[in-house]
């Protein structure tokens, strides 16, 4: 327990001490919120879909969590290059505890960033649909955070080279965000785009969050929860497996 706690605490301290990182990670979601939210708002309304901010905000919260969680997961790579990883790898502690301590810390950090973006959405005019569903929203936020921390950890354990980082951002993180229904409604989609969306775990996170916060969920919040939960479990197993194979 104390091992999970100290590794969790380390992630939180790193986050709170790096103000530049906090600001940088908030810039992108906010840009999307304001540029897209207010830019497409009138068109979205004219098409009969209601208030765009109401629709977009849960997607942007999910985005903030996705980026932060993936980044902290991949930070393992950073720790490896700067040497700290070795200190944890030679410690008489099962690697699963190291992975889980880190992951819980990173997920907490991602959730905090999601909350900050959520509060900014409230300031920008977002209205909570049903206060009783807020705990469900928090649960979805946590699942999204854990899922992508696990994915980041798996990826960060596999690659050794910092130069692979932009590759991952452009070919994994960005597509996951764009094909998640965070910025457009998925209900009327057909064909390959629809199939891609259904295969993307983030789609269920966005959908669940939207169900809990504003518009109804398209897939149903129960489905969202189950799919997200299973994907998180699977990725945690994968992250643990790849992490256990690290040699330094």
Partner 1 sequence: MVIIASNLVKRFKEFRAVDDVSFEVEAGKIFGFLGPNGAGKTTTIKMLTTTLIPSGGKILLDGNDPQKDPLAARRSFGIVFQDPSLDGEMTATENMKLHAVLYGVPRSSQQERINSSLDFVGLLDRKNSFAKTFSGGMKRRLEIARALLHTPKILFLDEPTLGLDPQTRNHVWEYIQTLAKEKNMTVFFTTHYMDEADRVADEIAVIDHGRIVARGSPGDLKKNTASRTLEEAFISLTGHAIREEESSAKDRTRAMGRLWGRT
Q: With respect to partner 1, which residue has the nearer C-beta, 4 or 196?
A: 4
Cβ distance to partner 1 smaller for residue 199 or 248? 248
Residues forming contacts to partner 1 in the complex (CB under 8 A) are: 2-3, 6-7, 10, 13-14, 17-18, 79, 82-84, 86-94, 160, 247-248
Q: How far is the CB of 68 from partner 1 (least distance, A)?
A: 17
Angle at 207 between CA 203 and CA 212, to 5 degrees: 150
How far is Cα 160 from Cα 142, in angstroms, rounded to an integer?
Answer: 28
Return the number of the residue (132 or 247) whose C-beta is nearest partner 1.
247
Q: Which two tokens stand for residue 158?
A: 């596999």
CB of 144 closer than 8 Å to CB of 62: yes
Burial degree of 6 (CB within 10 A; 0-12, 13-18, 19+): exposed
For partner 1, give the closer residue by CB, 192 or 248.
248
CB within 8 Å of 180: residues ≥ 6 apart: 59, 62, 197, 200, 202, 203, 205, 206
Closest distance to partner 1 from the beta carbon of 27 (Å): 21
Q: Least Å distance between CB 234 and partner 1?
A: 26
Find, among 30, 107, 28, 111, the residue nearest to 75 by Cα: 107
CB of 238 to partner 1, least distance (A): 21
| CA distance linking residue 248 with residue 240, whole number of Å | 16
Q: Which is nearer to partner 1, 38 or 78 (CB)?
A: 78
Q: How far is the CB of 3 from partner 1 (least distance, A)?
A: 6
């Amino acid at each position: 327990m104390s091992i999970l706690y100290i590794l969790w605490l380390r992630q939180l301290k790193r986050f709170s001490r790096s103000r530049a990182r906090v600001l940088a990670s908030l810039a992108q979601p906010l840009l999307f919120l304001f540029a897209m939210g207010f830019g497409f708002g009138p068109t979205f309304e004219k098409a009969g879909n209601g208030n765009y901010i109401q629709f977009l905000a849960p997607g942007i919260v999910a985005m903030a969590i996705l980026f932060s969680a993936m980044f902290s997961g991949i930070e393992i790579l950073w720790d490896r290059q700067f040497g700290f990883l070795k200190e944890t790898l030679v410690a008489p502690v099962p690697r699963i505890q190291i992975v889980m301590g880190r992951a819980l810390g990173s997920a907490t950090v991602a959730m905090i960033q999601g909350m900050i973006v959520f509060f900014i959405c409230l300031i920008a005019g977002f209205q909570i649909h049903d206060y009783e569903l807020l705990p469900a929203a928090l649960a979805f936020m946590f699942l999204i955070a854990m899922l992508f921390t696990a994915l980041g950890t798996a990826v960060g354990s596999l690659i050794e080279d910092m130069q692979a980082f932009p590759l991952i951002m452009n070919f994994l993180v960005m597509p996951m965000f764009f094909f998640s229904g965070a910025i457009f409604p998925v209900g009327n989609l057909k064909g390959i785009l629809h199939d891609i969306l259904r295969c993307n775990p983030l789609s269920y996170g966005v959908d669940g969050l939207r169900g809990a916060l504003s518009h109804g969920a398209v897939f149903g919040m129960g489905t969202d929860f189950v799919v997200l939960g299973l994907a998180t479990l699977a990725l945690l197993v994968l992250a643990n497996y790849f992490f256990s194979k690290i040699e330094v």
